[in-house]
Amino acid sequence: MVTPRELKHAAKMVLSRWESDPVKRQQLNERRERLRDERDRQLAAGTFGEVRGHKAIATAEKESVPAPDTLMELRKNLARRKGVS
């Protein structure tokens, strides 16, 4: 069985091997640049999260409940709910 640490170490070894080879380093840099450009286009268009599967937060109109003004009012409301006078 392989541990997550061993997987991470193996990936770093492969990456360093690619970075040391001029041809593969060029390929990596080109890929990184393509990904960066795509990300920037999505950010500019406002579709960055949507493309990655994130859903917009639903903003349903709910009736607002007035907030208590003081701590004492909060305590009274809590006591009333618990049935304590």
Share of the chain above pLDDT 70, in %: 86
**Cα 37 from Cα 74, distance rounded (Å):** 52
Predicted confidence band at 63 (pLDDT cuts at 50, 70, 90)?
low
pTM to 2 decimals? 0.55
The whole-number pLDDT of residue 85 equals: 56
The whole-number pLDDT of residue 32 equals: 97
Name the more confident of 16 and 46: 16
**Cα 1 from Cα 3, distance rounded (Å):** 7
